[in-house]
Amino acid sequence: MDQRIETGGLSTRERIVDTAVRMTSEVGWSQVTMAKLADAVGVSRQTVYNELGTKPGLAEAMILRELDRFLGVVQLAFDAHPDDIVDAIREASRRVLDLAHGNPLLHAVVSATHGADTELLPLLTTHAQSLLVAAKDVIRERIAPYAVPLGPDRLDAAIDMVVRVVLSHVMQPSAPAGATADDIAWIAARVLR
């Protein structure tokens, strides 16, 4: 039988990353070792190293996988509102905040920033700049088809503002996702219309 069928269609790398996320949320990043991970996945430790390299490589793979999930919901939101940029921003913000609410890796990272597992903090801080750049690039690309009455510099500032506000609420929510998304859309409307 095909190995991918036996494992739910996931590649070995995907299974390793999924298991690492689960282990990180359950026992903390400092307790995740390549040997424990290999045992949990049912592969050799060498297979884990071959697929992901070192533990920092594993951390990067986990972060990039989650970033892809978040950017995927942003893409869907913009696809759903091709004629209204503010509605697209509202929908994208709500979807990101909803996804963040139940995200075990994000919860593990946030708890690290509050003292629970200080070894996990570098996951967030080391990659923060590249994550921000990637998010802004996706938004910039998705906004391009809309008629926005701003020059490139002002548009970049507006994109930066929206992305940073959403990320701030991802890290420390202050209201339900829908209400926060409405607030972000209200601010975006004042700038973009």
From the CB of residue 102, how many other CB atoms can be counted at a distance below 10 Å?
8
Place of tokens 């996990």: 120
- One-letter amino acid at 178 equals G
Place of tokens 């070995």: 12
Q: What local confidence, expressed as pLDDT, does residue 5 receive?
A: 40
Average pLDDT per consecutive 10 residues, the chain (193 residues; last block may be shorter) = 55 95 86 95 96 89 87 96 96 96 78 52 62 90 93 94 92 94 96 84
Q: Distances in Å between the alpha carbon of 85 and those of 41, 60, 93, 100, 161?
A: 43, 32, 12, 22, 15
- One-letter amino acid at 21 equals V
Q: What local confidence, expressed as pLDDT, does residue 115 receive?
A: 47
Which residues neighbour 131 within 8 Å (Cβ) at sequence distance 6 or greater? 63, 67
| Single pTM value for the model | 0.82
Upper half-sphere CA count for residue 99 (Cβ side, 13 Å): 19
Q: Which two tokens stand for residue 105?
A: 């890796």
Q: What local confidence, expressed as pLDDT, does residue 7 receive?
A: 56
